[in-house]
Amino acid sequence: MANLPIVQYEEKIIETVEQNPVVVIIGETGSGKSTQLSRMFHRRGYSKSGIIGITQPRRVAAVSVARRVAQELRVQLGEEVGYAIRFEDRTSDNTRIKYLTDGVLLRESLANPELNQYSVIILDEAHERSLNTDILLGLMKRLVRLRASNLKVLVTSATLDGNKVSKFFSDCPVLTIPGKLYPVQIFYSNERPSSYLESSLKTAIDIHVGQPEGDILIFMTGQDDIEKLVSKLEDKVQALEEGSCMDAIILPLHGSLPPEMQVRVFSPSPPDCRRIIVATNIAETSLTVDGVVYVIDAGYVKQRQYNPSTGMYSLDVVQISKVQASQRAGRAGRTRPGKCYRLYPSKVYEDNFLDVTVPEIQRSSLAGCVLYLKSLDLPDIDILKFDFLDPPSSETLEDALKQLYLIDAIDEHGTITNVGQKMAELPLEPSLSRTLMEANNYGCLSQALTVAAMLSAETSLLSGWSKTEKKRKHTMSNLPDGSGFGDHIQLLQIFERWDQSDYDIGWCKDNDLQVRGMLFVKDIRKQLSQIMQKIAKGPLDVRAHGKSEEKQGYKNLRKALCVGFANQLAERKIHHNGYRTLGFKAQVVQVHPSSVLKPDELGKFPDYVVYHELIATPRPYMRNVCSVEMRWVMPIINKLGTLDVHKLSGGLGHIDEEPEEKAPDLPKKGANVAAIPDDRKSQIQAARERFLARKGKK
Ligand code: CDP
Ligand code: MG
């Protein structure tokens, strides 16, 4: 390990950290930031007064790096070195070095705002600019004032604009660790390929056949494409004439890979064998794969984008930024001079690629984030004035406030409610936490816990789920069908069947359900139950009991879902099977073809539904849909009518110091016109911009 660049700078790093509460460290990917900094502070005794915490935006990275460090220190994972990710905690009282996702650290700060258990907090991979890391950056600013004497904060990154972060933390020092990257030769293609998959395939085989030894790393946009390419590569390599070139092993690398498969990527290649690693963006900076000499970069990444004006998420394949392209190329020059094949013309790179990646905070729904900040109840924190490295748009903040109001998490003055306070304690999106709270009132908590757990399992449950529609229908045939009420009910029924089988692994296999995924659901469910018991301060009936509500048409559960998903409600268009979303912006949407909700014998869909997610693919679809009844919907429509965004955003009044910037209150409006008029919006926007400009000057 001593040869990793960061270790050679130990004295300098410790000295700087001794003298400053916050230090930014910029070091090339692979320089040892994630694995070595924590060890360094441990060695230097910082772990005596508290835990050394290192955040990672990605779950896999947290697990993989913790495992690696435990190995290096020859300790058992979960003892001195452990990790905590959502729904999975592998730490103990002995843990001194703790890897955790940024989301988990945020949760911890809810229970203990001063984070007193930590002596050092390292916000790693800050260049990823994940939403949670951005919030943490703001919180750390406050924390280092409060705990100046006994907390050290480090912000580390491969590419981040160090000066920007330094400015944010009152000009804290920036240490740049010179990396030892070898030169990487870049090749551009003459035009964009019609299929980036085929083009990657061809390039990889050309390299394998024609170039000297060295592993190949290929960037793909997602698991499906990775699986396709891996199987095509296997066929091609098999078909090569025996002895014409060296052997090759082909390895996938993505976030939902089982741990035992991930390990293979980090073990060195067998002699006389070339490894071809087909990876998602995860290999760009979060996981360093040694031995790579050739990189194939098609220039794409899959990105979730939220559009606050439609409330719609889209999972788009978008062009990477120039910074990302250079990170990808850099992966080829870690051990010796390498080559990077860009499957796009240099003109596209120059003219079309953004310089830097858009931070997640500017492309996410902020309902969860706003609820979290409100629940912190820190006298010196106001969400609308919250100090973000890059502030989100006022439209996104308003969208979040409206959502939270509709599900009773904040009142009409924008103050967090009792319900909201409890919701924030659940590690779930606000709509699901609200559903759980309501289900508890209706005596169907047990069922709601199951639905929330099924929706929260990060891996897909059906083996064929992500594949074609045909395959899914086939695999679904023996499973319950939601009894005409939709996907949430189907998820409940699947789990209840499994419960009745006594959690039989064979039953999962027979039904083509992923065993690992189902076991994870069971575990999540248990954890959520425990949190609910804690919130309710008393025992609740959370046992899964099969078929409990079936006879009543799952009324209570659907009613609870209707309350929790009040902002995700749609009404069927008359004489038509399309829907129109109710809420601030009406959208015309369809039920996603993968839904189990089908038209009845008269060819009609239910009049009202709630949906888990709106996705543009590119037609707007509702995914995971559950039928609800009109009498449950009416109170929500009435509430929409009373919405006054000016009051809600209370803090905006603060921002407008000049009285003339305050417009008269909005008149009460009906459901369909509840959206804020444009002039009003631009006033708010203008006020916010003035405020930000003033702040920027300070
Ligand atoms: O964080 P940074 O990119 O600066 O580097 P790192 O993740 O600490 O990696 C330092 C070295 O440890 C690299 O050579 C990695 O290949 C190696 N490593 C590993 O072999 N297995 C892991 N799970 C993580 C890192
Ligand atoms: Mg790292």
Percent of the chain with pLDDT over 70: 88
Q: How far apart are CA 567 and CA 445, in angstroms?
A: 21
pTM metric for this prediction: 0.84
- Regarding whether 601 and 484 lie in a shared domain, the answer is yes
Q: Is the CB of 27 under 6 A from ligand 1?
A: yes
CB 298 within 8 A of CB 219: yes
Say whether 633 sits in a helix, a strand or coil: helix
Handedness of CA 158, 163, 167, 172 (dihedral sign): positive
- Regarding whether 308 and 225 lie in a shared domain, the answer is yes
Residue 254 lies in a domain: yes
CATH label of the domain that carries residue 353: 3.40.50.300
For atom 7 of ligand 1, the residue with the nearest CA is 34
Mean pLDDT of 98-116: 94
For residue 133, the CA-to-ligand 1 centroid distance in Å is 21
Q: Is the CB of 266 under 6 A from ligand 1?
A: yes
CA distances from 246 to 242, 275, 336 (A): 9, 10, 20
Mean pLDDT of 260-279: 87
Q: What is the pLDDT of residue 174?
A: 95
Helix (H) / strand (E) containing 275: strand 273-279
Residue 553 lies in a domain: yes
Residue 610 pLDDT exceeds 90: yes
- Regarding whether 325 and 241 lie in a shared domain, the answer is yes
C-alpha dihedral (431, 432, 434, 440), degrees to nearest 10: 160
Mean pLDDT of the chain: 86
Among the candidates 296, 329, 361, a domain finishes at 361
| CB burial of residue 85 (10 Å; 0-12, 13-18, 19+) | buried
Of 40, 68, 277, the one to substitute when testing ligand 1's pocket (max ligand atoms within 8 A of C-beta) is 68
pLDDT digits (tens, 9 = 90+) for 450-484: 999 999 886 666 654 443 343 444 444 678 999 99
Q: What is the pLDDT of residue 698?
A: 37
Mean pLDDT of 151-155: 97
How far from the centroid of its chain's Cα atoms is residue 137's Cα? 17
- Regarding whether 224 and 172 lie in a shared domain, the answer is no
Mean pLDDT of 640-660: 59
Residue 201 lies in a domain: yes
Q: What is the pLDDT of residue 477?
A: 61
- Bridge partner list, 188: 342
CA distances from 293 to 258, 270, 290, 328, 337 (A): 26, 16, 9, 12, 7
Mean pLDDT of 284-311: 88
Q: What is the pLDDT of residue 431?
A: 94
pLDDT digits (tens, 9 = 90+) for 43-74: 999 999 999 999 999 998 999 999 999 999 99
Residues 6+ apart with CB under 8 A from 470: none
Residue 668 lies in a domain: yes
Ligand nearest to the CA of 60: 1
- Regarding whether 665 and 597 lie in a shared domain, the answer is no
DSSP track, 369-402: HHHHHHHH--TT--GGG---SSPPPHHHHHHHHH
Q: What is the pLDDT of residue 268?
A: 81
- What angle separates helix 394-406 from helix 630-641, to the nearest 10 degrees? 130
Q: What is the pLDDT of residue 668?
A: 36
pLDDT range class, residue 14, cuts 50, 70, 90: very high
Q: What is the pLDDT of residue 546?
A: 62
pLDDT digits (tens, 9 = 90+) for 530-556: 999 998 887 788 877 666 677 788 999
Q: Which atom of ligand 1 is nearest to the CA of 286?
A: 3
Residue 518 pLDDT exceeds 80: yes
For atom 20 of ligand 1, the residue with the nearest CA is 266
| CB burial of residue 149 (10 Å; 0-12, 13-18, 19+) | exposed
Mean pLDDT of 199-204: 97
Q: What is the pLDDT of residue 678?
A: 44
CB 636 within 8 A of CB 667: no
CA distances from 151 to 120, 147, 305, 543 (A): 6, 6, 35, 42
665 vs 334, higher pLDDT: 334
Q: Is the CB of 157 under 6 A from ligand 1?
A: no
Among the candidates 152, 177, 202, a domain finishes at 177
- Regarding whether 393 and 352 lie in a shared domain, the answer is no
- Give 106's DSSP letter: H
CB 509 within 8 A of CB 452: no
Percent of the chain with pLDDT over 90: 60
Residue 412 lies in a domain: yes
Q: How far apart are CA 688 and CA 613, in angstroms?
A: 29
601 vs 583, higher pLDDT: 601
Residue 655 pLDDT exceeds 50: no
For atom 15 of ligand 1, the residue with the nearest CA is 288
Q: What is the pLDDT of residue 459?
A: 60
Q: Which of 237-246, 435-444, 456-465, 622-631 has the lowest mean pLDDT?
A: 456-465
- Regarding whether 620 and 529 lie in a shared domain, the answer is yes
Among the candidates 177, 194, 212, a domain finishes at 177
542-577 in b/e form (b: 16+ CB < 10 A) is bebeeebbeeeebbbbbbbbbbbbbbbbbbbeeeee
Residue 654 pLDDT exceeds 80: no
Residue 14 lies in a domain: yes
Q: What is the pLDDT of residue 474?
A: 45
Residue 672 pLDDT exceeds 50: no
Q: Is the CB of 33 under 6 A from ligand 1?
A: yes
Q: What is the pLDDT of residue 631?
A: 95
Q: Which atom of ligand 1 is nearest to the CA of 35?
A: 8
Q: Is the CB of 592 under 6 A from ligand 1?
A: no
- Regarding whether 202 and 129 lie in a shared domain, the answer is no
Residue 134 pLDDT exceeds 60: yes
- Regarding whether 163 and 58 lie in a shared domain, the answer is yes
CATH label of the domain that carries residue 470: 1.10.3380
Ligand nearest to the CA of 286: 2
Q: How far apart are CA 132 and CA 138, in angstroms?
A: 10
- Bridge partner list, 101: 56
Among 156, 197, 168, residue whose Cα is nearest residue 61: 156
- Regarding whether 445 and 310 lie in a shared domain, the answer is no
Q: What is the pLDDT of residue 413?
A: 86
pLDDT range class, residue 657, cuts 50, 70, 90: very low
pLDDT digits (tens, 9 = 90+) for 326-343: 999 999 998 899 999 999
Q: How far apart are CA 42 and CA 383, in angstroms?
A: 35
Residue 642 lies in a domain: no
- Regarding whether 376 and 282 lie in a shared domain, the answer is no
Q: How many domains does the chain have?
A: 4
| CB burial of residue 423 (10 Å; 0-12, 13-18, 19+) | buried
- Regarding whether 396 and 282 lie in a shared domain, the answer is no
- Domain with 160 in it: 5-177
Residue 545 lies in a domain: yes
Residues 6+ apart with CB under 8 A from 565: 431, 435, 610, 611, 612
